[in-house]
Structure 1
């Protein structure tokens, strides 16, 4: 979320300079003026220290600016751009409604991620009994008590989900609908759980993630960063790529 605010502020200043205001000290509008108040973060006792302690042990270069080592790219790696229009999302949403009697959270995120993950598992093929694990990152700023302001300068996000299923779950004809149900249950439950429970899930999932044969997947980036609405003075971007290691 910091990236989104930073880019919007950067674009705002660039546009001011383009219109001949380069000699003035640029002031950000209220909705882009960052809040640096860390005292408003209210976490349960001991949670923050546990997180810092765990992450410090996990990453020896936690505070290093040295880039992580780049793994050798295998010959079986494939990169695909999947373009889902609003019409595509709506058709997929209607398909879920016609095949599931449950009251589901059918947001664009749930529909798109469920569809992409199902495609990835089917594209891999192979052993239907192989374990799969996929997750996503949730923004907890509005879910804290009290909630953090929208202008808070910091990414209060945390990985969640950690769904463990055999590949056969998504290889079946109703695999997409099943993926939607799994994600829907998780998203609906995010607001009712404490941050400490997500941290515990994270620690346990890390133990399983790197086991041999596990097909792992996650998502990076979000359309809510407003990347496609940015204008530095030469127009809005046509396509933005998310780089993830």
Structure 2
């Protein structure tokens, strides 16, 4: 159900709000029992959003889109929300729990749906691969409005580029679900609008909403609370007389670039790692995957581009999907968080040398293989202990978001394959990257990188130059 609301604010940089409405589930849905957040959900509680931008070509007037397509897009969102009703609700503190939080849907709850126009902008430029200003991309992302300790779960923004195309921006609160759950919802919405436009023939599974399948067998929820308190106390003590941390680069100086590793280059990188790390029996002691070599190659290029001191230590942080690793296995279509973390630390001097890429790949590969036989509770316990123990150590981190397994370029709302997909969740921190499948080549990977402009130039030269000489 679509209800207009008054627009009471104006955005800069030529973004004109055409319409803002509230989309509620249809058929109408009565209030539902709240869903208590699991310990895996609570990791992402504090105002962390998953944001994607989906760009589609549409070389027609804005009035054509509004008159012919907007109503159907809104109606299909409403129908999809009926099945994914928690996404129309809010994340809030549980009234009957000291430290619990929940997703609460009450009858009449709705999702903010904004329609805007970005006049005077070039669609191909803003959706290209070359470095683009973060501030421009951020205009296309929804702006969820939180109140105290209550957050909307989902917000949507449709931005039209006159006679060129449009962008569907989606923001989902990470405490409600991880990237796999968010992309399941987005593809279900696309399938509801255009069932015949499915690019693979695969129908997204129905949502599984019961969070009780996530069992906290290690008491991680309580340990997370204690760890948070310990870290807060350490920070208070360090504020007195401590040297302030170096300031992060402001958004206005950051750019977002997309880099591609084709399947042929990935094959070369794997071959190089295998040759450099072969054991006596001719096989390395880790699985050499596309993910591993792509992360290692990007990490080494970033470390060189950022100019870290050779004696310092840098950290690579990546998410681990536990859906197929948990016992019993999580049902297909589960909407919630199933992510843990893993980290790799290396000396900068070891990374910038001639064998730095192969060494980084080996470390990442061994860290992945080290998860075998471990459950998610053990993994997170270990991360908690490391986080508390290392609080105050200013080790530069490279964090990665997204996954080629999401197959974001198969998201067809009826206008074909997206011209571009960007994960703007990563844009707040320099040195962060996103990962997706390549739009153009099966088996290739797209890597989004956020850096200050000067460092982006150095990174690009290293990333592209390494492929040319590889």
Please give the range of the TM-score, normalised by the shorter of the 2 chains.
0.7 to 0.9
- Given the alignment of the two structures, is residue 10 of structure 1 paired with residue 170 of structure 2, yes or no? no
Q: 1:114-168 deviations in whole A, cap 9, x for unaligned?
A: 110011011122420012111100011111110102211112112212x222211
Matched-pair contact (CA < 8 Å) for 2:184–2:204:
no
**Which has the higher relative contact order, 1 or 2, with Cα contacts under 8 A spaced 6 or more apart?**
1
Q: How big is the shift at 1:55?
A: 5.7
Matched-pair contact (CA < 8 Å) for 1:89–1:111:
yes
CA distance in 2, matches of 1:136, 1:97: 22
Match of 2:289 among 92, 102, 107: 107
Secondary structure of the corresponding residue to residue 264 of structure 2? helix
Q: After the TM superposition, which residues 95-244 of structure 1 pair with which residues of structure 2 at under 5 Å, given as runs?
A: 95-101=272-278, 102-161=284-343, 163-207=344-388, 208=390, 211-212=393-394, 214-243=395-424, 244=426
Secondary structure of the corresponding residue to residue 317 of structure 2? strand
Query: 4+ runs of 1 displaced by more than 6 Å?
Result: 56-59
Secondary structure of the corresponding residue to residue 345 of structure 2? strand
- Given the alignment of the two structures, is residue 48 of structure 1 paired with residue 221 of structure 2, yes or no? yes
Q: 1:160-183 deviations in whole A, cap 9, x for unaligned?
A: 12x222211211111111111111
CA distance in 1, matches of 2:203, 2:291: 29
TM-score by length of 2: 0.43
Give the structure with the larger strand fraction: 2
Flag the 1:72–1:117 CA change in 2: closer, same or farther, 3 A.
closer
Matched-pair contact (CA < 8 Å) for 1:114–1:176:
yes
CA distance in 1, matches of 2:225, 2:208: 22
Q: 1:161-212 deviations in whole A, cap 9, x for unaligned?
A: 2x22221121111111111111111111223223233223322443536634
Flag the 1:178–1:17 CA change in 2: closer, same or farther, 3 A.
closer
Q: Which runs of 5+ in 1 are unaligned?
A: 19-28, 60-70
CA distance in 2, matches of 1:228, 1:30: 15
Matched-pair contact (CA < 8 Å) for 1:209–1:216:
no
CA distance in 1, matches of 2:391, 2:299: 16
CA distance in 1, matches of 2:327, 2:256: 41
Alignment RMSD (CA, Å): 2.7
Match of 1:94 among 266, 271, 274: 271
Q: How big is the shift at 1:88?
A: 1.0
Matched-pair contact (CA < 8 Å) for 1:8–1:32:
no
Secondary structure of the corresponding residue to residue 194 of structure 2? helix
Matched-pair contact (CA < 8 Å) for 2:319–2:340:
yes
Q: Which stretch of the first structure deviates more once superposed, 82-91 or 195-204?
A: 195-204
Query: Aligned pair count?
Result: 222
Secondary structure of the corresponding residue to residue 117 of structure 1? helix
Q: How big is the shift at 1:57?
A: 8.4
Flag the 1:52–1:169 CA change in 2: closer, same or farther, 3 A.
same
Q: Which one has the largest radius of gyration?
A: 2
Q: Which runs of 5+ in 2 are unaligned?
A: 1-179, 233-247, 279-283, 429-470
Q: 1:50-80 deviations in whole A, cap 9, x for unaligned?
A: 3356568879xxxxxxxxxxx7617875543
Matched-pair contact (CA < 8 Å) for 2:350–2:356:
yes
CA distance in 1, matches of 2:350, 2:227: 33
Matched-pair contact (CA < 8 Å) for 1:160–1:202:
yes
Q: How big is the shift at 1:83?
A: 0.9
Flag the 1:233–1:146 CA change in 2: closer, same or farther, 3 A.
same
2:206 corresponding residue in structure 1: 33
